[in-house]
Amino acid sequence: MIDTARILRILPAVMLALLAACSIIPKHPPIIESSSPDLVVTGQMDDMMEFYDIVRKQSPAELGQVYEKVKQNFVHNKSDANRARLVLLLILPNTSIRDVSSAIHLLNEWPRDGKPASNLQSFRNLLASLLGEQQRLHHSVEELSQKLKEEQKRSETLKSQIDAIKSMEKNLILREL
């Protein structure tokens, strides 16, 4: 037969375990991505990467139109998504709209709220640090390029002085003969 004393000892433990299990079930079930092509789950970062992938393949004329539209959208609505799109356009390599300084300015002016960082805010931090480092390296390259030019100029001056000394030596030797 059933041992009621044993059941009474186990029952609270089972109820506690069930209660604990209920408390760890998330309020919003996680989104599980399916491998089926008709179910596509996207988030803010997916949208940003899709946007970047589309605009980087566009012709200069199309890119100019997209830039104007995104810029107007940002002026009317300074949302994080609009700001991120504008920054992505401004950092596109080998384009006439590339303006890293403006992109850094937009990233630095991005409002920071006290909430935990969203994907776009983390993306902002990543872009800001990468662009800051890129700009620092660009300035270093410019400084080194300037120093190289100065050294080349100095080298040319020394070479011309050496040539002048050689010419003077030849003239002296020819006079002695």
Q: How far apart are CA 105 and CA 102, in angstroms?
A: 5
- List, for residues 41-90, the tens digit of each pLDDT value: 457 777 888 888 888 888 888 888 888 998 898 888 888 888 888 888 88
d(CA 18, CA 111) in angstroms, rounded, equals 43
**For residues 168 and 37, what is the distance between their CA atoms, to the nearest angstrom?**
83
Would you state the structure tokens that stand for residue 32, as one six-digit string? 């599980």
Q: What is the pTM of this model?
A: 0.57
For residue 89, which of 109, 62, 70 has the smallest C-alpha distance?
Answer: 70
Return the C-alpha torsion angle 33, 34, 38, 43, nearest 10. Answer: 10
Q: How far is CA 35 from each of CA 38, 47, 49, rounded to the nearest angstrom?
A: 9, 19, 19
Looking at residue 16, its pLDDT comes to 47
Give me the tens of pLDDT residue by residue for the chain, a chain 177 residues long.
556 555 555 555 555 454 444 444 444 444 334 444 443 445 777 788 888 888 888 888 888 888 899 889 888 888 888 888 888 888 888 888 888 888 888 888 887 765 655 677 788 888 888 888 888 888 999 999 999 999 999 999 999 999 999 999 999 888 887
